[in-house]
Amino acid sequence: MQKETIAIHAGYDKKQGNGEMSVPISQTTAYAFRDAEHAANLFALKELGPIYTRLNNPTTDVLEQRFAQLEGGAAALCVSSGQSSIFFAIANVASAGDNILISDKLYGGAVTLLTHTIKRFGIEARIFKVSDASNLEEQINDKTKAIFFESLSNPQIAVADVESIVSIAKRNGVLTICDNTVASAALFNPISWGVDVVVHSTSKYTNGQGSAIGGIIVERDGLAEFFKENAEKYTEFTQPDPSYHGLVYVDVPLPNFCLRGRLSLLRDIGAVQSPHNSWLLIQTLETLALRMEKHSANALEIAKFLSTNSKVKSVNYPGLESSSDYDKAQKYFKDGKSSGLISFEAESFEAAKTVINSAKLFSVVVNIGDSKSLIVHPASTTHSQMSEEELINAGVNPTTVRLSIGLEDPKDLIEDLEQALS
């Protein structure tokens, strides 16, 4: 099936229940078991079915199946936010004493989570260059559990050298995790390039209207074989789990990564997505492919306008032929469409603030991926917790203005930016 069709039909049988055309919301905390044996079978995984909404929910299940197919994966696991999808993906494989390799161009929340918070759990993050992976392999050792990067990074809008990262990871038996939030499942599918695990903040383009926070983890088919081949390293999957009756995940014929994420992490940490948010995301997913075409077309037009404006020092948009990431965007993204994020450098810190304060149609918001166009000054907002050195390493300059281009008519957006810059 093609993506547009999957996004509308996969994972839901209209002939079930009352034949509802709109996927019903299972707004429930728990589920009645038929009898004690039924309950025991569910807990022992002899039978699959809902137990308690912290573990699974029929509405969330539809979204998980749909999203897994959309990303070309074997299974998906919804969590309460993009941040928790990153935390779960890392915590699923890494423990105290391990290290992970993270891209030098990441979302600010991912940077603080991966360099500060998980350090307190004894997991060390080492930084590699995502544009060409040149210093990746030399930092890998037998304690390296994962390589984490964003396919199209927020806010630097850098395109990862996915092919090089994946080939180094495969050569060294290290799991790859790609945050595909900005590119979206409509424009790019990391799994088709050999990535093992994909995470998303569904709060962004997947939702598309800024109406729900959510996160999702998708795994590729065949991860059990990968864990078995690297059995000494991925003992979480190859050794008995004392917290689940000694279950050995690689022996279970279900996609392992999401299974452990659900039975262990979701059970214990509880960052569960509400069924209502799953339902909202089911609605918005239906138009994802259409919206990404329009976001990308609008952004390209605005990036072209900005590159001709005398008050703009430089424009960063991978869909522009002048961009150093243009070739990678053409190679990886559907028809070279590069999503809706643009950043540009104003003439000074003050000039950047003036543009933000003068724009009328653009709302000053830290979110991205909304149908409404948004403008932000990362140095004073999303990335304000970072030190100057971290800011520079992450490519966030004091003069950087970031735009998330919405679905309005681009003529109106250009007119607004023109007056804000003058």
Of 143-172, binders to ligand PLP (CB under 6 A) are: 150, 154
Task: Return the percent helix, strand and coil in the chain, to nearest 5.
Answer: 40, 15, 45
**CB contact burial 339-360 (16+ within 10 A = b; e otherwise):** bbbbbbbbeeeebbbbbbeebe
DSSP track, 176-199: EEEE-TTTHHHH--GGGGT-SEEE
Q: Choose between 233 and 328: whose C-beta lies nearer to ligand PLP.
A: 328
Which of 109, 194, 336, 395 contacts ligand PLP by CB under 6 A?
109
For residue 417, the Cα-to-chain-centroid distance in whole angstroms is: 29
- Rounded to whole angstroms, the Cα distance separating 234 from 375 reads 42
Of the candidate spans 89-97, 190-198, 200-208, 218-226, the one that interacts with ligand PLP by CB under 6 A turns out to be 200-208
Q: How far is residue 255's CA from residue 237's CA, in Å, rounded to a whole number?
A: 11
Binding mask 317-356 toward ligand PLP (x if CB under 6 A, else -) reads ----------------------------------------
Site string for ligand PLP, 349-388 (x = CB under 6 A): -------------------x--------------------
105 binds ligand PLP (CB under 6 A): no
Contact call for residue 74 and ligand PLP (CB under 6 A): no
Look at residues 103, 289, 86 and name the one whose alpha carbon lies nearest to residue 189: 289
What part of residues 17-36 is at the interface with ligand PLP (CB under 6 A)?
none
Residue 277 touches ligand PLP, criterion: CB under 6 A: no
Q: Is 204 in the site for ligand PLP (CB under 6 A)?
A: yes
Q: Which amino acid is at 176?
A: T
Structure tokens given for 292: 């990404």
Contact between 296 and ligand PLP per CB under 6 A:
no
Q: Which stretch binds ligand PLP (CB under 6 A): 14-22, 105-113, 219-227, 330-338?
A: 105-113
Q: According to CB under 6 A, which one of 59, 83, 92, 184 is a site residue for ligand PLP?
A: 83
x/- track of binding to ligand PLP for residues 214-253 (CB under 6 A):
-x--------------------------------------
Smallest distance from ligand PLP to CB 273, Å:
10
Nearer to ligand PLP, 204 or 233 (CB): 204
Structure tokens at 166: 């994946």
Interatomic CA distance for residues 289 and 411, integer angstroms? 22
Smallest gap from residue 113 Cβ to ligand PLP (A) = 9
Determine the interface stretch with ligand PLP among 129-137, 201-209, 312-320, 347-355 (rule: CB under 6 A).
Answer: 201-209
Q: Give the 3-state secondary structure of 3-56.
A: HHHHHHHCCCCCCCCCCCCCCCCCCCCECCCCCHHHHHHHHCCCCCCCCECCCC
Name the residue with the smallest CB distance to ligand PLP.
Answer: 82
201 binds ligand PLP (CB under 6 A): yes
Radius of gyration of the chain (CA): 22
Contact 339, 295 (CB under 8 A): yes
**In one letter, which amino acid is 54?**
R
Tokens of 156: 């630097």
Under the binding rule (CB under 6 A), the answer on residue 263 touching ligand PLP is no
Q: Which is nearer to ligand PLP, 258 or 368 (CB)?
A: 368
Place of tokens 């250009």: 414
Interacting residues toward ligand PLP by CB under 6 A: 81-83, 107, 109-110, 150, 154, 179, 181-182, 201, 203-204, 213, 215, 368
